[in-house]
Structure 1
């Protein structure tokens, strides 16, 4: 006889992935609510919800509770099989929609969706038709698939849901293999697809373990451990990989975009501080401003201050600074940024007096406003700025002589 705590220990294979899936759903939920019209986000949310439901309702403790509440022995069986089948259909629909994107072949996409919905809806209906016809008086919390593997009508339902699961995994794996080989894929998307491929490969192993255990019963042998011990553990790992594979591209792209915004915001800090000191004012603090809004406000402030300041830049200094930067070994792009930084510093230091431009090739206002990121990066290297200024000042003296 198994110890009393066995069901709790065994349920770890169900509750651990359920907790991971709930966490993933909680992470995605704000985006799903905010962008509810996005069919991909809705499908991802549905998939995570169904996957969580599969593990919650497949746990032995939940199976016992549902059977007791319904008053029907083993009523959890068709319910769990239906959830698994619905999860397979949702995964296929999500992959088909995701693979085709918002444009493509609408007619082919509609046909594929109709095929998936009709086939897997038919499987679910068949499961509920077959169950009442079967004789299943003994409640089985862990091994119903193998215990009733030879019972009429139950065996057909078991075989039906396992085959539907295996077909979905095979089709999904084929779609993923073809997709991951496409050149030019986003890095986060490729990582997500690889996790999906690993998850569906494990899902195939789950189907193989279950089918082998059921087949052994048909042959008069006992390989129940494949169904009761191995398959749940494999399914738990597979569910985590599949859920992560669907969430990772969205989460990775979101985090990458956020990082780029924060990086751009920080990149503008030297130029912002310089112009704030020149204008005597800065941006007011906003408690709930998003990173994108903070970046936009900083860019706007810099351009608003540079616009009048840029008209007073000594274009002759700009030309000499550019030549000086080239003479110091800087590449042309870096030399232009250093020359612009020198001009901005000179305009700030000399105040608001207007001077006629001299020389050739100074940076015009449009170029300066467009290259504020490069100018701000140049200001991070005061030694380079001072070297260019000193060389440009020497060139001016030589010109006068």
Structure 2
């Protein structure tokens, strides 16, 4: 079980990164997508390389006692920088300003990382310490400065992120606000982590021993803070993606009544190519819209535009909104045309109708209204009953 308190959060973050990998490959040029992916990858690296078994393995492989110390410090510094980068790109604004802030952030934290490795190379840390490196070498020249630099850099990032996220959360709502609040809590815990580390190191400077704050208190606080921060960053993005997916599937199902009404009028051989059941939702919507347009084209000679105008006028008289009245009128005309087409198996009707554009001019949204009217409108039901009566009276 040794090291599981580090490896479990590392694994969770790797899974989150893997879930984002397809989007990263498709949208590599998007700064926000890159920032999210880098944050998840760096955060998982922090926990993996900070685990005592990994620390011992890295020291053994490199042959340098405590080489893991500057490595972990640098990864933690990179995590602080990636948080700032993500927030810069997440907030939006002028592209030039975002690029300028990003360059400043990368440059500043790169200098911190370089100084950490330089100070470790100059200083001396011959005794391997897997859990208490900070306090054991708190009074060692150059190593002391390396520890102080990483704590200051981490604290600055935590303070900046706490202030900015809290300020931003006051102006937004929904999942974004929830994510920002989680991030505020996470970065405040980061400050608790930094306070515990500073207290333990400061105690060593004063000749006291508060190592327990660094070895027992700080690690679980860091794990929980990383969970809150990662969740805060990912939550709005996941909710946005799920919402978009839901809207796409909702559109697909709402188009169902119109699609089923028209599918019988399209000759089987001329229908659009079928797609597999596992295809993406947006592709299925596109296919369904194409099928509807094909059906409309085949029905064009049977459209009664006078019937449509009368149905629209009746809907407006009944108090319907203009958009709803138009959708109802289109649905009435489609329902009547389907039955007229069915009553003409030998296709004797010579098409002279105007081109059908009203339902397709605005795309799927208008088709959804027509589809809903086909299922719910009393006028459509009356049209179907009238058509059925006519058919029964003319055997």
What per-residue deviation string (whole Å, max 9, x for no partner) do you get for residues 231-280 of structure 1?
11111122222223333333332322222222111111111111111224
The corresponding residue for 2:30 is 38
Partner SS state of residue 380, structure 1 = helix
Provide the rounded CA distance (Å) in 1 between the counterparts of 2:350 and 2:171. 58
- TM-score w.r.t. length of structure 1: 0.83
Gap runs ≥5 in structure 2: 389-395
Provide the rounded CA distance (Å) in 2 between the counterparts of 1:372 and 1:68. 66
Provide the rounded CA distance (Å) in 2 between the counterparts of 1:286 and 1:308. 22
Question: Is the Cα contact below 8 Å between 2:272 and 2:290 reproduced in 1?
Answer: no
Aligned partner of 2:14 among 6, 18, 22: 22
Answer yes or no: is 1:385 the counterpart of 2:376. Answer: no
Answer yes or no: is 1:375 the counterpart of 2:370. Answer: yes
- TM-score w.r.t. length of structure 2: 0.84
The corresponding residue for 1:229 is 216
Aligned length: 375
Provide the rounded CA distance (Å) in 1 between the counterparts of 2:262 and 2:336. 12
The corresponding residue for 1:131 is 120
Q: 1:16 to 1:273 in 2, by over 3 A?
A: same
Provide the rounded CA distance (Å) in 1 between the counterparts of 2:355 and 2:311. 14
For 1:341-360, list aligned pairs within 5 A: 341-351=331-341, 353=349
Name the stretch that deviates more: 64-73 or 286-295: 286-295
Provide the rounded CA distance (Å) in 1 between the counterparts of 2:334 and 2:350. 14
Q: 1:71 to 1:315 in 2, by over 3 A?
A: closer
Provide the rounded CA distance (Å) in 1 between the counterparts of 2:182 and 2:29. 26
Aligned partner of 1:290 among 280, 289, 292: 280
Gap runs ≥5 in structure 1: 1-7, 358-362, 394-401
Aligned partner of 1:112 among 89, 95, 101: 101
- Between the two structures, name the one with larger relative contact order (CA 8 Å, sep ≥ 6): 1
Offset of residue 56 of structure 1: 0.6
The corresponding residue for 2:391 is none
Aligned partner of 1:241 among 223, 228, 231: 228
For 1:356-367, list aligned pairs within 5 A: 365-367=356-358
**CA-based RMSD:** 3.0
Name the stretch that deviates more: 323-332 or 121-130: 323-332
Provide the rounded CA distance (Å) in 2 between the counterparts of 1:116 and 1:323. 63
Q: 1:175 to 1:324 in 2, by over 3 A?
A: same
Partner SS state of residue 365, structure 1 = coil
The corresponding residue for 2:56 is 64
Q: 1:383 to 1:110 in 2, by over 3 A?
A: closer
Provide the rounded CA distance (Å) in 1 between the counterparts of 2:13 and 2:223. 10
The corresponding residue for 2:82 is 90
The corresponding residue for 1:340 is 330
Offset of residue 283 of structure 1: 4.2
What per-residue deviation string (whole Å, max 9, x for no partner) do you get for residues 203-253 of structure 1?
222112211222222233333222112211111122222223333333332
Provide the rounded CA distance (Å) in 1 between the counterparts of 2:282 and 2:132. 54
For 1:293-308, list aligned pairs within 5 A: 293-308=283-298
Provide the rounded CA distance (Å) in 2 between the counterparts of 1:348 and 1:388. 11
